[in-house]
Chains A and B, each alone.
Chain A
Amino acid sequence: AAAFERRVLRRAAEHHYLRVRLELPDGGARPNAAQFKQLVVTALRELHGEVGAALPVDVLTYEEKTLSAILRVISSGFVKLWSALTLLGFYQNRRCAFRVLQTSPFLLALSGNSRELVL
């Protein structure tokens, strides 16, 4: 018989993970990873001020070609981060939009997207 161990987590998860994509329709310069993080922090500062900008947000992966990233944030700051990303309108005076594709308290859940299933 295979030995397995069952772990039950009673607390809510520590971090929330978001897969986001930045939409920049005009063909200008694309932000690199550092500029992307700067953009996220700016969005938080515009909506939630210095306290929001100090929220511990990490960019776990970033692809410059598709401008998509996976962000990690402390669970208590999840609503602030998501609302700040939603209300961001401009990047360097160019119109942009953040599309949040998936969110989950577990990183593994971001690997599969049931909306992109081809039935």
Chain B
Amino acid sequence: QNILTVCFSVGYSAVALNHVIDFKEKKQEIIKPVSPSELFPSLPIVQGTSKRIKVLTRLTLVVSDPSHCNLLRSTSANTRLYDIIAVFPKTEKLFHIACTTLDVDLVCINVTEKLPFYFRRPPVNMAIDRGIYFELLYTPAIKDSTMRRYTISNAISLMQICKGKNIVISSAAERPLELRGPYDVANLGLLFGLSEGEAKAAVSTNCRAAMLHGETRKSACGVVYTVKKPHQVEEEETAVPACKKAKTQ
């Protein structure tokens, strides 16, 4: 709860609470996510706007075996309760499966050890087409210098293949001090080799797109967001063809 308070003060507008499931241990069951309303009776307002901060729930599956993926396909009631689903593949085959066929929103890229496999272009391009985002963590870089090297080297090799598209940078903070502000994290994106616009998008627009991708799983096909257009002064035009009028609406 302390971490969330710091998040809000630093300037984030949406936070996702992560729950990690590791399949190596036996008898893992997916628990229901903690509802955010239990933690905060009323969420504070985002700085500068009048909307409240969103707190979402997220599930991360650490898969090292293809049989673990069956859980995603089975209609487990608890999996559907989470807003965002992420998968953490440990082998190349699983990475390929996750990018091409699995129904997830994020694919986590390991930052704590040297990648056992190289990224190849076909699965990465398919993931970009499907709207799946690759996630990098930055908190291990704060704790340990060896992990810093692995983080940067894995991030750079990912950038070479995906050219900076569909990247999300997030923190796996366990303490409020391990959190960094959004602009600081966007600056870290520059270190990884992203351009300035891509780095800022990695913290803002890509994250929102991943959230919407998670929402599409709950609905049947897609999500349409409507935005209120500013009131346009209508002028009387007599000779406007019908097709033109339909486009301006």
Contact = CB atoms under 8 A, between A and B. Distances in A.
Contacts of B178: 89, 97
B145 interface: yes
Q: Is the interface of B mostly helix, strand, loop or mixed?
A: helix
A99 interface: yes
B183 interface: yes
Most central of B47, B148, B177 by chain A CB within 10 Å: B177
B187 A82 contact: yes
A88 B190 contact: no
Interface string B39-50: 000000001100
6 pairs of A and B residues whose beta carbons are closest in the complex? A89-B142, A86-B184, A97-B177, A82-B187, A83-B191, A95-B177
B217 interface: no
A83 B183 CA distance: 10
A77 to B, nearest CB: 13
B187 to A, nearest CB: 5
A83 B177 contact: no
Nearest to B47: A115
Contacts, number: 43
Nearest to A116: B47
Interface residues of B, number: 23
Nearest to B189: A83
Interface in B90-130: none
A46 to B, nearest CB: 6
A23 B2 CA distance: 15
Interface of A: 23, 25, 46-47, 79, 82-83, 85-89, 95-97, 99-100, 115
A99 B177 contact: no
Nearest to A82: B187
B148 A97 contact: no
B187 A86 contact: yes
